């Protein structure tokens, strides 16, 4: 029996879309080159921070992030009810902080930009920051409160989405690497992987940083997606109230989890698929962590790891149908893969089911790279 939609890539994006499609009675199969969700989705820190992480000249990304934040509470409620698994969705908000005069000046400029965009942010004195988070450094001079920014345990989210997808009837084939996307007479004809031939009505490529490397894709439609390496580490918190908010400094984020971990990261490195953990990368993170959270000095390190963000040529997602009918992309989410999860699942499942392109993803069409 022909598969309705074959998805290459079982991270949060592929699992989320697959779950939505399977719930609608579609026959869905996901292929993953490793264990589902164990690449960028697992390596992330779970930040849902469109306000805190807003960048100049990325207005379309901000709009997509705000739409996804609107969807997040219902997305989480439905997922937790469907699976019975909690995902540690936390709504305490975020605080951006500055420990030097130069950082405070830069943060003030960004704060003015956030206000221009209509984001609900508030300037804080150093005293107000420390009152909200006593564990932070006494040298912090200023902060910006971003109550709309939340965070989630991305690893719990991966596990819940996998369970939801399978419960809805989806098929998952792990440790099966694609050897060829079959294109015959300029038309999609199937996928070869692990010595098998998979035939489907539609193909969705959601393989993160590997999306542009799949054999058989014509160069004319191959998405310009590259790996952007990030190194991270986590420590074990001495108590549950050690840190409540997600903290953002100019060169570091600090994300507390309900299980006692505090995740800190991440470097931004154009190093290809090099998985080496480097002394320089970890030193920069550790120094920045100690500058802002002095108590980290005595906390036991629990884990050190790296991941590969899928960055497109313009650092925006690639969402929609390619020039080859029936071949779709959902990739290139860069640093916002967890944030964009609900809106990507909602819009891409709508597109795959109806053929109608939702307005919110029109700016992210794959065709923009060939224009």
Over residues 185-227, the pLDDT tens digits come to 999 999 999 999 999 999 999 999 999 999 999 999 999 999 9
**Does the predicted model carry a pTM greater than 0.85?**
yes
Other CB atoms within a 10 A radius of the CB of residue 367 amount to 12
pLDDT for 254 equals 96
User: Are 214 and 158 contained in the same domain?
Assistant: yes
Q: Does the residue 69 lie in any domain? A: yes
Q: Which structural domain range is residue 299 located in?
A: 90-149+226-311
Please check whether residues 318 and 350 belong to one and the same domain. Answer: yes
Low-confidence ranges of the chain (pLDDT < 50): none
Same-domain pairing of 19 and 118: no
Q: Long-range CB contacts (< 8 A, 24+ apart) of 52-59?
A: 52/94, 52/96, 52/144, 52/146, 52/149, 52/246, 52/248, 53/248, 53/335, 53/336, 54/110, 54/113, 54/114, 54/117, 54/119, 56/113, 58/315, 58/316, 59/117
In a domain, 85, yes or no: no
Task: Provide the CATH number for the domain around residue 271.
Answer: 3.30.9.10
Looking at 268, 287, 311, the residue that finishes a domain is 311
The answer on 250 and 168 residing in a single domain is no
- Residue 329 covered by a domain: yes
37 vs 10, 13, 352, CA distance in Å?
A: 6, 9, 22
Whether omega for the bond prior to residue 266 falls within 30 degrees of 0, making it cis, is: yes
Instruction: Based on the fold, state whether residues 10 and 130 are members of the same structural domain.
Output: no
Domain boundary among 311, 338, 357: 311
- Give the total number of structural domains in the chain: 2
Residue 354 inside a domain? The answer is yes
Give the tokens for residue 49.
Answer: 């921070």
> Is the same domain home to 322 and 363?
yes
pLDDT at 238: 83
Distance CA 332, CA 207 (A): 9
Asked if residue 336 and residue 242 are part of one domain, the reply reads: no
Residue finishing a domain among 296, 311, 326 = 311
CA-wise closest residue to 156 among 73, 256, 308, 41? 41
């Amino acid at each position: 029996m022909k598969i309705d939609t074959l998805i290459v890539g079982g991270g949060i994006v592929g699992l989320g879309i697959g779950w939505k499609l399977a719930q609608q009675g579609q026959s869905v199969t996901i292929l993953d080159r490793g264990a589902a969700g164990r690449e960028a989705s697992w390596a992330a820190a779970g930040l849902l921070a469109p306000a805190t992480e807003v960048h100049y000249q990325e207005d379309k990304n901000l709009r997509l992030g705000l739409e996804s934040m609107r969807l997040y509470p219902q997305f989480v409620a439905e997922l937790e009810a469907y699976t019975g698994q909690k995902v540690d969705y936390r709504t305490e908000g975020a605080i951006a902080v500055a420990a030097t005069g130069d950082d405070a000046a830069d943060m003030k400029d960004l704060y003015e930009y956030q206000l221009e965009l209509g984001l609900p942010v508030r300037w804080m004195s150093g005293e107000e920051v420390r009152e909200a988070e006593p564990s932070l450094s006494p040298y912090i001079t200023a902060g910006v409160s971003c109550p709309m920014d939340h965070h989630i345990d991305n690893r719990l989210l991966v596990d819940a989405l996998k369970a939801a997808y399978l419960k809805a009837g989806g098929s998952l084939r792990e440790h099966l690497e694609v050897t060829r996307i079959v294109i015959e007479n300029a038309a999609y004809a199937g996928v070869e992987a692990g010595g098998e031939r998979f035939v489907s009505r539609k193909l969705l490529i959601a393989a993160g940083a590997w999306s542009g490397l799949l054999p058989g894709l014509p160069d004319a439609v191959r998405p310009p997606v590259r790996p952007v390496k990030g190194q991270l580490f986590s420590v074990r918190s001495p108590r549950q109230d050690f840190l409540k908010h997600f903290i953002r400094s100019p060169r570091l984020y600090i994300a507390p989890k309900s299980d006692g971990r505090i995740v800190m990261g991440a470097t931004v490195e154009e190093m290809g698929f090099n998985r080496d953990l480097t002394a320089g990368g970890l030193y920069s993170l550790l120094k920045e962590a100690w500058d802002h959270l002095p108590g980290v000095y005595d906390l036991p390190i629990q884990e050190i790891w790296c991941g590969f963000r899928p960055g497109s040529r313009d650092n925006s997602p690639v969402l929609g149908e390619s020039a080859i009918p029936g071949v779709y992309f959902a990739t290139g989410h860069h640093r916002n893969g967890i944030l964009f999860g609900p809106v990507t699942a909602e819009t891409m499942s709508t597109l795959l089911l109806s053929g109608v392109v939702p307005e919110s993803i029109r700016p992210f069409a794959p065709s923009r790279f060939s224009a």
